[in-house]
A and B are shown apart, each in its own frame.
Chain A
Amino acid sequence: MTKITFIEPQGAKVEIDVINGWTLMQAATSHGVEGIEAECGGSCACATCHCYVEGEQATRLPAPSNDELEMLDNVAAERLPNSRLGCQIRVTPYLEGLVVRMPEAQS
C-alpha cells in the first residue's frame, strides 16, 4: 500500500492507501473521489481522468507516452506542466505521499 492524497475540485482532501500496481485513476474512482470520470476505464481513450500531480514525488513519475501527451493536449480543464492522465500512472512505493489534484472539469 502506498499513501496518496487526492484533492477534490472543491478542495476536500481524500487520503487513500493504494494497492501497489493499481493506477491513480483506479484508486480515485474506486473510492469515489470527486472530479474524475474515467469513462473509458483506463484505456487512454477519453482523457477524463486528467489530474495535476504535485509534490516532490511527482518528479519520480515516468514520463508520459506519446499517446498520453496527445490526449493531454485536449483535456477539458487547463493543461499545466504537471498535467497527467491518472490511468497511465501505476502506483509504486516510490510515490508515497504523492498529491494528486483533480481539475474543475473533465468534459
Chain B
Amino acid sequence: MGDAVIIVGAGQAGLTVAEALRADGWQDEIVIYGAEKHAPYHRPPLSKGYLLGDTPAAQLTIRGPDLFDKKRIEFCAGRPVRAIDPTSLRIELDDGSRRAYCSLVLATGSRPRELAVEGARLDRVVSLRTLEDSATIGTQLQKAENVVVIGGGFIGLEVAAAARKKGCSVIVLEAMDRLLARVASPAISDFFARLHSDHGARIIFNAKVSRLVGEAGVVRTVETADGQSFPADLVVVGVGAVANDELARHAGLACDRGVVVDDCSRSSDPSIFAAGDCTARRLADGALSRLESVQNAVEQAKSAAAALTGRERPFRAAPWFWSDQHGVKLQMAGSSANADQAALRGSLADKNFSLFYLRSGKLIGVDTINRPGDHMLARKLLDHGLSPTIEEVSDEHFDLKSLLATGVPA
C-alpha cells in the first residue's frame, strides 16, 4: 500500500481536496491526475464572461504554475485514469501504468448529456463543459446568424444571452412548459422568459426536438415533433449533465446517477472518497442530492480532506448557486421545491427583488434578482435554521437581519 492520496480529476473539487489536505496538515504525497491538458480552471465564466470575450483565458486558471511545487502537490495534466482496483489499492493510468494509493478521491466531474436524436453528431452541434467548448462556441457566435439553443436551463440561457449580445438570432427550444423547470420556481421561470424575450430571443415551450438535419455534415435545421423546422448554423445543446461515475461503478462502488457519498464525502469503499459534480450525496432524510455547482465542489472537497485527516466536517449547508444573464444576477439559496408559501420583496419591474419560499411556516429557499445582500442573508438564515414569518417577509420595513441578531447562538 502506498502512502499517497491520489485525486482523480483536476477541476475545482480536485484542486480543493489537495489544498485542503495540506491546510489540514497532511504530510505525505498528494497526486492529482487531470484528464484535461489544463491546470485547474474556473468553469462558471465559460458560459459567461469568457464566452463574451470579457475574461481572458489566463484569468480562468485558478492557481499559478509554481503553486503545486510550493505545496508539494504532484499535478499530472492530460493523464486520464482508466481503472481503479480497490482490492490492491491501485489505479491504472491511460498508458497501463499503475500507482498505489492509501486513499483515493474521485473528482471526475460530469459531462453534458447527449441529445438522443438523429443528427446530434453533426458539425456545429455543440455542448459546453470545457475551455475548448467555450472557445469554439465563442468563435462560432462571431459568424453565426441563427443560433438554436436546445434546453432552457442555466447553460442554455447563459449561451442564449451571449448569442443575442453578439447579434445572433436566437431560438430557445425548451421541452417543458417553462424555463429552468428543474431548478427554479414558476415565478423565476416567468421572469427569465420575459427577460430573454425582451432581449430578442424566441422561446418555444413544449418543444420536442425530433431530429437535426445537415448538409455536408454541417447542421442546417432543427426539427421538432410537431413538424416545425428552425434554421440553424449553430446548435447549442444544454440538456443537463451526467456524472462521470464509470470508474467508481466498474470498481464496484455504490453509484446512483453519481458516486454515492455521505455528507463527509465517503463512498461505499472506506479508502475512496468523492467530491463535486460526480457525486450523489445522501441527505439526512435518505434522499440523494445531485448538485453541479462550485459550492458543492468546494464543500465536498473540504469534507473529504477533513475525513482523510481524521476529522468530521459534514457538508450540510444550504445549497447556493448563481447565474448571470443580460446583466441580471440570479442567486439561489436553499430550494423552492415543495414550497407552500412564497413572498416577494422588491420589484419585478425594476429587476430588483427576492422571493422567499416557506414550507409549513419554515424558510426553505430564497431566490434573489440583483439583490446580493438578501442572498447572503438568506444563506445565513437557512444555515442557522432561522425563519421569518410570511408577514415579516412581505413587510419591506421589517429588517430581516434582526432575526440573525436574536437567533444565532453565540
| Contact pattern, B 46-73, Cβ under 8 Å of A = 1, otherwise 0 | 0010000001000111111001001100
What residues on A are CB-neighbors of B377 within 8 Å? 74
- Closest A residue to B317 using CB positions: A107
Closest chain A CB from B396 CB (angstroms): 15
Contact A71 B373 (CB under 8 A): yes
Closest chain A CB from B346 CB (angstroms): 12
Q: Is A56 an interface residue (CB 8 A)?
A: no
In this complex, the interface size class of chain B, counting residues with CB under 8 Å from chain A, is 20 to 34
Q: Is B372 an interface residue (CB 8 A)?
A: yes
CB contact under 8 A between A43 and B322, given known A30-B61, A30-B63: yes
Q: Is B318 an interface residue (CB 8 A)?
A: no
Docked complex Cα distance between A70 and B352 (Å): 13
Contact A44 B372 (CB under 8 A): yes
| Contact pattern, A 8-44, Cβ under 8 Å of B = 1, otherwise 0 | 0000000000000010001001111000010111111
Contact A70 B371 (CB under 8 A): yes
Among B59, B63, B298, B370, the residue within 8 A (CB) of A32 is B63
Among A32, A41, A43, A70, the residue within 8 A (CB) of B71 is A32
What residues on A are CB-neighbors of B62 within 8 Å? 29-30, 41
Docked complex Cα distance between A70 and B295 (Å): 20
CB contact under 8 A between A31 and B329, given known A40-B44, A70-B371, A71-B373: no
What residues on B are CB-neighbors of A31 within 8 Å? 64, 67
**Majority-rule SS of A interface residues:** loop
Q: Is B111 an interface residue (CB 8 A)?
A: no
Docked complex Cα distance between A26 and B61 (Å): 9
The winner among B44, B48, B71 for most chain A CB atoms within 10 A is: B44
Docked complex Cα distance between A41 and B55 (Å): 11
What residues on A are CB-neighbors of B373 within 8 Å? 70-71, 73-74
Docked complex Cα distance between A30 and B59 (Å): 9
Q: Is A47 an interface residue (CB 8 A)?
A: yes
Closest chain B CB from A55 CB (angstroms): 24
Docked complex Cα distance between A44 and B45 (Å): 12
| Contact pattern, A 67-107, Cβ under 8 Å of B = 1, otherwise 0 | 10011011000000000000000000000000000000000
- Closest B residue to A75 using CB positions: B376
What residues on B are CB-neighbors of A29 within 8 Å? 62-63
Among B70, B298, B322, B374, the residue within 8 A (CB) of A45 is B322
What residues on A are CB-neighbors of B60 within 8 Å? 41
Q: Is B42 an interface residue (CB 8 A)?
A: yes
The winner among B63, B64, B329 for most chain A CB atoms within 10 A is: B64
Docked complex Cα distance between A45 and B372 (Å): 7
Closest chain B CB from A43 CB (angstroms): 6
Among A30, A32, A43, the residue within 8 A (CB) of B44 is A43
Q: Is B324 an interface residue (CB 8 A)?
A: yes
What residues on B are CB-neighbors of A44 within 8 Å? 329, 372
Contact B63 A74 (CB under 8 A): no
Docked complex Cα distance between A73 and B377 (Å): 9
Closest chain B CB from A16 CB (angstroms): 10
What residues on B are CB-neighbors of A70 within 8 Å? 371-374, 376
Contact A43 B324 (CB under 8 A): yes
Among B45, B64, B67, B376, the residue within 8 A (CB) of A73 is B376
What residues on B are CB-neighbors of A39 within 8 Å? 294-295, 298
| Contact pattern, B 315-330, Cβ under 8 Å of A = 1, otherwise 0 | 0000000101000010
Docked complex Cα distance between A30 and B58 (Å): 10
What residues on B are CB-neighbors of A40 within 8 Å? 44, 294, 322
18 further A-B pairs in the complex, CB-CB below 8 A; given A44-B329, A71-B372: A30-B61, A30-B67, A32-B63, A37-B298, A40-B44, A41-B44, A41-B294, A42-B45, A43-B48, A43-B329, A45-B372, A46-B322, A67-B372, A70-B373, A71-B373, A71-B376, A74-B376, A74-B377
State the 6 A-B residue pairs at the shortest beta-carbon distance, nearest first. A70-B373, A74-B376, A41-B42, A45-B322, A30-B64, A32-B67
Give me 14 A-to-B residue pairs in the complex whose CB atoms sit less than 8 angstroms apart, sorted by A's number: A32-B67, A37-B298, A39-B295, A39-B298, A42-B59, A43-B45, A44-B329, A45-B329, A45-B375, A67-B372, A70-B373, A71-B373, A73-B373, A74-B377
